[in-house]
Structure 1
């Protein structure tokens, strides 16, 4: 049965951030994820996890200037030193919070910019991040994101992400398969899960879900999630499934879809 983690950045916004941990636990979640932990002391977040019996599934490495519109720096030429510092910061938090998966966002590219140059920087930075993470037992994951939600995002397709992981060749570098993003960009979700879950290199390190097209609860929209949850089980996936969606109203009121899976 899939193990679901509440995304505390998108869910439970009716509560202050630190109060989202007990709210998720009350609703039956055993795991949580969120975008970034860096506004809070690691010890404070660690206590919230411990006190509520929660496991930290995932968070993102620092993405650059998020408020100014940056969405990662891993593929940005000239930002390599900043990237290395960001990985050091992120790995300090993984050691405190206990998560074994760390998402590294690729960043944006403009049409006039040199994609080959960005790709070369991306591969070099991912190799560095994977090497640093390996010593701590952490896996780096990269995520293809649709360009409707994030126009200009460097990485958009599952096959491109798998090819990048294979080229880097690190055993602790995998793909974060967000079914919402994949459905928007390319569809054919079941076939891609079957193809990528069993790859000898790379493969799928983390899964996320949301309804399509509005990014609400997974029981609304064009994706047949009960079928996909059964498939994920059949394929032997042992990781967390992150619920990265925007609730239509109060988060707890919209969790009817989850009850059969708890």
Structure 2
């Protein structure tokens, strides 16, 4: 198990990579969750988003709840003990390793992100039960081969055993030019039967056309907010072409196995994202 008190060499020099004048999705997400690891540009961007999409704060909270439910299902009911969480973001409550290891202490988790702010919190993520293990990679989803061949990943996960790949609130930042389907296929290709793909993805399916157009325009017209691409249920289903969907399939994320959550559940138009889990046959 990595020693969280030891400095990680990958953290050295990251201050030069942090631009606090430009909003970043991870820091904006942190602000909407009520976190403190954000800057004025992130807060301004989030508040501008709330003016167009007032339920954005609810959406990110429900996204976090979905993560907890999906990891709990995979650890408790599917018996998976290895998790690859890509685009993990700034640590919050119910991080993947906390949920998985509370169910099975021997669970192993690798976190992946390429945001320097997230990297500064690596040591917080690298805490683990004595029986399990966690690791953190400074890497980019757009280069899956580098992730899968990284020495720290290979020292933490056994790719001959099932692995759950978590792509939570990240694929809508991967535009078509980056060939998102090929990226996911490359990530899953070396993993054995029983592995899983967990995804939440922004969609316009539940929005009135005029509101969907406003959100798309805000995304497109402000390059500082980063590129993005809403996808419909059919497009999201293409990521799961060769996988077996876990019931209830591709559904509004607030409704996925949410029987134990506070009722009534938020309306799909207020969360406007799908949640889905699939297993490799």
* TM-score (structure 2 length as normaliser): 0.35
